[in-house]
Amino acid sequence: MIDLKGIKKIYANGDIQVAALNGVDLHVGASEFVSIMGPSGSGKSSMMNILGCLDTPTEGEYYLDGTDVAKASGDDLSVIRNRKIGFVFQGFNLLARTTAVENVELPMLYAGIGGKERRARAIAALESVGLGGRIHHRPKELSGGQQQRVAIARALVTKPSIILADEPTGNLDSRSSEEVMAIFQRLHASGNTIIIVTHEPDIAEFTQRIVRFRDGHIEGDEVVQNQRLAQALVLEEGEAK
């Protein structure tokens, strides 16, 4: 699924060169549920950008579904992101003034999927995260947890190879965080590959494997012994907010 070999990311700042990633090898198999941890400056954000094909490594090889994407150009990366990667961000990153269902339709718009199919799949994706009753709400009219669930629906609607979540619970209270993690666990149970970047140990405990970064390289790679099960306290559709 994901194979990283000797990944280096070097930022040139004037004459000073800073290696954010210094020779990283990582393999993530299909249907894994991985969290990437590390203090700030450890290189986990650079890792996230490279894994998400938002950025290319200075050196090294990145095989995603068997193809090397390390040297792809801007527009090719757009296509790869569109087809293979679903993003969930800390700040939700939904389009304001745009309804939930339209936000979820967005990646399919760029994939060139027709209007009717787009709408049907977007509604199905929103229903799968328990927001079937709020498809015409705008981000402002939704709580943080609900916004993040719209973002998750948007990430999974294209049936991507991996779902990448960057601090998905960073802006949420503990109750909403657990809801979101419950959704990730459910998605994982149905066969999705999920990678979460986080600095919160208790969030990482919801996953199956923790990869720890420090100073641009992998410091530890362990299997979570006692995986916590998130309680879906929620809030199924129609229940009052």
Partner 1 sequence: MNFFESIRVSLRALRANKLRSALTMLGMIIGVAAVIAMVGIGNGATASITSQIQGLGSNLLTISSGQSNSGGVRGGAGSSDALSMTDVSKIPIDTAVKAVSPVTTTNAQVVFGSGNTSTSITATTADYALIKNVTIASGRFITQEDVDSSARVAVLGPTVVTNLMGDANASVIGKVIKINNVPFQVIGVTTATGSTGFMSSDDMITAPISTVQARLIGKKTVRSILVSATSADFMQTAQDEITTALHKAHKIPEGKADDFTVQNQADMLATMTGVTQTLTMLLGGIAGISLLVGGIGIMNIMLVSVTERTREIGIRKAIGAKGMDILLQFLIEAVVLSVLGGGIGIALGYGGSTLAGKALKMSTSISMTSVLVAFCFSAAIGIVFGVFPARKAAAMDPIDALRYE
Name the residues that contact partner 1, by CB under 8 A: 49, 52, 54-55, 74-75, 78-79, 81-83, 87, 89, 93-95, 97-98, 106-107, 109-112, 154
- Choice between 134 and 154, CB closer to partner 1: 154
3-state secondary structure of 42: coil
CB of 81 to partner 1, least distance (A): 5
- Tokens representing residue 208 in the block: 């199956």
- Choice between 30 and 111, CB closer to partner 1: 111
- Choice between 24 and 234, CB closer to partner 1: 24
Kindly calculate the radius of gyration of the chain based on its CA atoms and give it in whole angstroms: 18
- CA gap 20, 44 in Å, rounded: 9
- CA gap 140, 154 in Å, rounded: 17
- Choice between 22 and 93, CB closer to partner 1: 93
CB of 8 to partner 1, least distance (A): 17
Taking the CA atoms of 34, 6, 38 and 151 in sequence, report the sign of the dihedral they define. Answer: negative
- Choice between 25 and 110, CB closer to partner 1: 110
CB of 33 to partner 1, least distance (A): 22
- CA gap 191, 196 in Å, rounded: 16
- CA gap 107, 113 in Å, rounded: 9
CB of 88 to partner 1, least distance (A): 11
CB of 82 to partner 1, least distance (A): 3
> Could you tell me the CA-to-CA distances from 126 to 81, 161, 165, 194, 240 in Å, in that order?
21, 19, 18, 18, 17
